[in-house]
A and B are shown apart, each in its own frame.
Chain A
Amino acid sequence: MNTTSERGLLFSTDLLLAVVILLLTSLAGLAFLSSLALHSASALPAYRLQRQGLFFLDALVKNDASQSFPGLAAFDSGLHRVTPNFLSPAPTAPELQGFPLLQSLRLVPFNGPETQWADKPLTGPANQASTTCYSFERLVLVGKEKALLIGVFCDG
């Protein structure tokens, strides 16, 4: 009788320890996963901003104005196709409504005056120092003149 009681007590202590260790292990795993998720979540807005900026400028240099998406590339009627990176000598301003992250868009020829198509004030919080902005450039040929298409994208 005495031996049985002792065994039961020993078993319970052992089990309690095992459960505590299991809980601590689970807690450590969950804490690790939580920190991983928070780290990824904090990097996501910057990634989205970069992605939108890169792909928007890429679309601008590859699409022409006849597409549903804004485009600046020229259409070569001889080749019957849009010519990516080649703009007409006098490109018209693209339709920029519906792209709230686009802060400014400029075409800066290597030799010549620049053209500004968009330049809006920051609409974010009063402390605009916290606003994140990314600037991207693409090289294009405007007629026979090389130029940089520069887009600035901000999250505020």
Chain B
Amino acid sequence: MDERKRMDERGLYFSLEALLGFAVLVLVLLSTKPAEAPDLKPLYLLQKQHDLLVVWVGQGIPSLPEMESDFRRVFPGFSGRIGFNDEFVAVGEPASNAFTESIYYAAPSGALGRLSITLYD
């Protein structure tokens, strides 16, 4: 009778342990976030930044106010920062999430120039 009791207790302990393990597994599965849906927005923004830089270099570097105007037209509702060598123009308020794209070009004088666009999202 004593042995039977001990065996019952052991069986009960095992079941409780398994149930606890199962509960933990369910909790882990439920707490796992499904994978984020693929989003092409960063690529799209990068393409548009690249467009602006290529067009600016290709047409001849415009003035900073014209660059700002182009920026607002291509990225309505966005804020950012335009860099032209050591000069910078802020468009709107900065934010924490930033994408920067830059391009180097040879100026007519032969000097190396740099243009950059930072986009805040």
Interface residues of A (CB under 8 A from B): 3, 6-7, 10, 13-14, 17-18, 21, 24-25, 28-29, 32, 35-36, 39-40, 43, 46-47, 50-51, 54, 58, 61, 83-86, 110, 136-141, 144, 146, 148
Q: Is there an interface contact between B59 and A14, defined as CB atoms closer than 8 Å?
A: no
Interface residues of B (CB under 8 A from A): 3-4, 7-8, 11, 14-15, 18-19, 21-22, 25-26, 29-30, 32, 34-35, 37-38, 40, 43-44, 47-48, 51-52, 54-55, 58-59, 70, 73-74
Q: Is there an interface contact between A54 and B47, defined as CB atoms closer than 8 Å?
A: yes
A residues less than 8 Å from B40 (CB atoms)? 47, 50-51, 54
Q: Is there an interface contact between B37 and A46, defined as CB atoms closer than 8 Å?
A: yes
Q: Is there an interface contact between B25 and A28, defined as CB atoms closer than 8 Å?
A: yes
B residues less than 8 Å from A6 (CB atoms)? 4, 7
Q: How far is the CB of B96 from chain A (nearest CB, A)?
A: 25
Given contacts A14-B11, A136-B44, A84 and B35 within 8 Å (CB-CB): no
What are 16 A-B pairs at a CB distance below 8 A?
A7-B7, A13-B11, A21-B19, A24-B22, A32-B30, A40-B34, A47-B38, A61-B51, A84-B54, A138-B47, A138-B48, A138-B51, A139-B70, A141-B58, A146-B55, A146-B59
Q: Is there an interface contact between B59 and A141, defined as CB atoms closer than 8 Å?
A: yes
B residues less than 8 Å from A18 (CB atoms)? 14, 18
B residues less than 8 Å from A83 (CB atoms)? 58
Q: Is there an interface contact between A25 and B44, defined as CB atoms closer than 8 Å?
A: no
Distance in angstroms between the alpha carbons of A46 and B84 in the assembled complex: 37
